[in-house]
Amino acid sequence: MAWLYDAHIHLSDIEYEHDIPLILNSMRKLRIKACCVSMDYTSSTKTLELGKQSDFILPFIGIHPEKAQDDVESTFKLIDENNEIISGIGEIGLDTTYTNSDEEFKKQEEVFKTQLSYAEKFRKPVSIHSRKTLDGILEILPSYNIPTTLLHWFDGSKKQLQKTMDLNCYVSFGPVMVYSKDKQVLLSKTNKDKILVETDGPVRFSRCFENKTAQIDFIPSIIFCASKILHMNYDELCDVIEQNSRRFLIL
């Protein structure tokens, strides 16, 4: 039986604080491992602690673009000091939503590039946030020799998807793919060896998910829906996603 992987979830978020034992139990029963991403220094330290609690939690630490204007040096130091035990660097990236000036965006870009340099130095995967900045990120990435890259919650065009595939990046699809025709089309045009799945919890999703906080146990439903779109057997797609996830994580 394959191991499933949630490629991007914020288990260090306060929404999950009191549910970790239940979440770990679900992960054990469903055979799911999770790339637990971080936002800043505080969440990165929490993520590291969660990683010590269970082998099912794969810690990614880093600075989200929303936090790029904060004190970042402490997080850089955390990456440096824990490079041998972290699974990757993330959630990092660019997003103009969180900037009010060219200077702030320049700072955000500097923080992003610094973290890409750490990923290159320590040979770590990265999990990237690319809302409204995908073209810029795709221009930046070739300048770095990073082992594997995930563009999480991929929301680009078909043309951008092709460039992403050309750059050998992974893309992940989450609960919204279950009811979004646009995401289903993108999934159908993604190279099968570059598909990952995620929840991006604690984001809440509508329709069949009833605006509930995303949970690890959404993953089988996402894969089941994806198997129908890709005209694949569920177990076959589980095997593909396990192989893709292990390659992304350099396991």
Q: What is the pLDDT of residue 159?
A: 97
Is 200 one of the annotated binding-site residues? Answer: yes
pLDDT exceeds cutoff 90 at 231? yes
pLDDT digits (tens, 9 = 90+) for 20-42: 999 999 999 999 999 999 999 99
pLDDT exceeds cutoff 90 at 244? yes
Cα angle: 205, vertex 206, 212; to 5 degrees: 55
pLDDT digits (tens, 9 = 90+) for 207-228: 878 888 999 999 999 999 999 9
Give the residue among 114, 108, 109, 110 at the shortest CA–CA distance from 68.
108
Domain ranges for the chain = 4-248
3-state SS, residue 149: strand
Q: What is the pLDDT of residue 210?
A: 83
| Amino acid, single-letter form, for residue 107 | K
Is 129 one of the annotated binding-site residues? Answer: yes
Per CATH, the number for 4-248 is: 3.20.20.140
Give the residue among 222, 230, 115, 127 at the shortest CA–CA distance from 169.
127
Q: What is the pLDDT of residue 209?
A: 83
Q: What is the pLDDT of residue 170?
A: 98
Q: How many whole angstroms separate alpha carbon 160 and alpha carbon 141?
A: 14
Q: Is residue 51 within 8 Å of 34, Cβ to Cβ? A: no
Q: What is the pLDDT of residue 41?
A: 98
Sequence-separated (6 or more) residues with CB below 8 Å from residue 81:
none
Is 91 one of the annotated binding-site residues? Answer: yes
- Phi and psi at 167, nearest 5°, equal -85, 0
pLDDT digits (tens, 9 = 90+) for 76-126: 999 999 999 999 999 999 999 999 999 999 999 999 999 999 999 999 999
106, two tokens: 């320049």
Q: Is residue 35 within 8 Å of 226, Cβ to Cβ? A: no
Is 64 one of the annotated binding-site residues? Answer: no
Q: What is the pLDDT of residue 212?
A: 86
